[in-house]
Structure 1
Amino acid sequence: MSFDEWFTIEEIDPMTFSISEYGHWEKVHSYLVIGDKYAALIDTGIGIGNIRNVVDQLIFLPIKVITTHVHWDHIGGHGQFNEIYVHELENDWLKNGIPGLPIEVIRHDVSRDISKPLPVDFRIEDYEPFRCEPTSILLDNETIDLGNRTLTCLHTPGHSPGHICIYEEERGYLYTGDLIYKGTLFAFYPTTDPLLFVKSVEKISQIEHVTRILPGHNELDLNKDFIVELNKSCQELLNKGLARHGTGIHDYKDVKIYF
């Protein structure tokens, strides 16, 4: 089996795959979740490589693209698919772009610190964040049936207004987008909300059956203990009055929280 060399494919289980971009400083993960009737693609990465080519070599099912949030590094391949889901609070971002974010800033972040050869047809001067009218709007606790697999969308704002995590109760998988991963967690931009971020971490920490956290960036080897410890850190910041913009970077060993 030959995949686009830009991506790294890792098997979570025989019906679940991570599609990762380790050659970029963001180390973005998208996830292919395969049911009996449909497959879900949770995010579509940066848009440097052709993620559709990868998906088509893994399955032959209709694809539902579920957007954790509308940042450029998670919607780059959306244009290669027909069925796009997004939370209602980021519907306008998907259609019109994020206000006040210059294309020069985006292109700089897309093209810096690359450690793998770029696809021959990629040109940074042509790069534009994807925009479209979504086919489906998501609400908190909405479910998506893939046929013998059900995904529940949990509204977890803070990193962005319409950020969602996706929970698969049967397997205990929690796809956390940019709410939780090892590294620096960002909630200092004007479009972020530190208080909502803390509340969202608390919300998902209360999910009892979590066997695996599948984040949007960096290391894949995370479990429920990581959420528990992160929630403790967030509650500490809340109690100290630090869950607000301008308090800086708070260092907690495996994770830094930037407010």
Structure 2
Amino acid sequence: MPQIKDAWFTVQQITKDTFAISEYGHWEKVHSFLLLGEERAALIDTGLGIENMKRMTDQLTSLPIVVLTTHVHWDHIGSHGEFDKIYVHEAEEDWLVNGIKKLPIEQIRKDVARDITKPVPEAFNSETYRPFQGKPTGLLRDGDSIQLGNRELTIYHTPGHSPGHIAILDHRHQFLFTGDLLYNETPIYAFFPTTDPAQLVASLEKIARIPKVSKIIGSHNQIGLSPDILEDVKKGMSQLKEKDLVKHGTGIHQFGSFSVQF
């Protein structure tokens, strides 16, 4: 891997063909992931849009890139406009084209501007910031297979945090990229008007049934969690259902190494 030093992005090589591109200078600590195949590469999300993501991927690969969107929230689609091929789950095509539902631009601008600890480029202005909007190249559905050339990815529809949220299984390494469905350190959010606690619980139970996962890789905070967290998921979701807590307004629920907020 070339030594990449950048004022905004941090690049971490997970394997020889898998990279995390992180934005630690923002409170979201959001990660995007570049997966290299023999014929093309997949970029899972494109970050905040504060800086130019393509500037980083150009240094990591010359392969054609397809963008796989875990979900259409502003902190995951920021650099979508820099790439030619963008895919999104069919349930959020409208969000990508017409804007994120029930999330005012004023709130987005407030969130993108706060708690920044690294210098931002001169071109960035939080007062005029707008999330990407545009028509996707294609739509994703549950069970779809994405072929990169001797590297296969499987799409899992995992709604709850948002209607068209997906998780992505990389069969080469048995990595499960979970977007905002599962990560540690801060709560998984399912308290927005567009979230669905029951769907989130069902989605967490769904990924907990995927066999032989070697690593959980979420889009925020720590990169790479032990698959043992899936046992915490199974137990935690069972407890939530038993106690009738799967609904908005019940607060934060901690289970071992992760928590959810309804």
Q: Calculate the TM-score normalised by the size of structure 1.
A: 0.97
| Partner AA of 2:139 in structure 1 | I
| Partner AA of 1:101 in structure 2 | L
Q: CA deviation at 1:177?
A: 0.1
Aligned residue-pair number:
259
Q: Partner of 2:75: helix, strand, or coil?
A: helix
Q: Partner of 1:125: helix, strand, or coil?
A: coil
RMSD, aligned α-carbons: 1.1
Residues 57-105 of structure 1, C-alpha deviation per residue, up to 9 Å, x if partnerless? 0100111000000000000010000100000000000000122311110
Q: 1:55-94, aligned counterparts within 5 Å?
A: 55-94=57-96
Counterpart Cα distance in 2 of 1:140 and 1:155: 5
Counterpart Cα distance in 2 of 1:170 and 1:2: 25
Counterpart Cα distance in 2 of 1:11 and 1:98: 32
Residues 189-236 of structure 1, C-alpha deviation per residue, up to 9 Å, x if partnerless? 111111110111111101111111111100013011112212311221
- Is 1:195 matched up with 2:195? no
Q: 1:124 aligns with which of 121, 126, 132?
A: 126
Q: Is 2:69–2:88's contact at 8 Å kept on the other side of the alignment?
A: yes
Q: CA deviation at 1:117?
A: 1.3
1:236 corresponds to which residue? 239
Counterpart Cα distance in 2 of 1:204 and 1:101: 27
Counterpart Cα distance in 2 of 1:77 and 1:124: 15
Counterpart Cα distance in 1 of 2:39 and 2:104: 40
Q: Partner of 1:200: helix, strand, or coil?
A: helix
Q: Is 2:145–2:152's contact at 8 Å kept on the other side of the alignment?
A: yes
Q: Partner of 1:41: helix, strand, or coil?
A: strand
Q: 1:169 aligns with which of 162, 168, 171?
A: 171
- Gap regions ≥5 residues in structure 1: none
Q: Is 2:166–2:178's contact at 8 Å kept on the other side of the alignment?
A: yes
Q: CA deviation at 1:132?
A: 0.5
Q: Calculate the TM-score normalised by the size of structure 2.
A: 0.96
Q: Is 1:158–1:192's contact at 8 Å kept on the other side of the alignment?
A: yes
Q: Partner of 2:88: helix, strand, or coil?
A: strand
1:46 corresponds to which residue? 48
Counterpart Cα distance in 2 of 1:203 and 1:229: 13
Q: CA deviation at 1:5?
A: 1.8
Q: CA deviation at 1:3?
A: 4.5
Counterpart Cα distance in 1 of 2:80 and 2:231: 33
- Is 1:113 matched up with 2:115? yes
1:221 corresponds to which residue? 224
Q: 2:212 aligns with which of 209, 213, 228?
A: 209
Counterpart Cα distance in 2 of 1:122 and 1:163: 27
Q: CA deviation at 1:22?
A: 0.7
Q: Is 1:87–1:162's contact at 8 Å kept on the other side of the alignment?
A: yes
Q: CA deviation at 1:256?
A: 2.2
Q: Is 1:4–1:49's contact at 8 Å kept on the other side of the alignment?
A: no
1:255 corresponds to which residue? 258
2:151 corresponds to which residue? 149
Q: Is 1:198–1:231's contact at 8 Å kept on the other side of the alignment?
A: no
Q: Is 1:44–1:75's contact at 8 Å kept on the other side of the alignment?
A: yes
Residues 147-198 of structure 1, C-alpha deviation per residue, up to 9 Å, x if partnerless? 0101111000111000000001231100000000002111111111111101
Q: Is 2:151–2:171's contact at 8 Å kept on the other side of the alignment?
A: no
Counterpart Cα distance in 1 of 2:102 and 2:18: 36
Q: Is 2:36–2:148's contact at 8 Å kept on the other side of the alignment?
A: yes
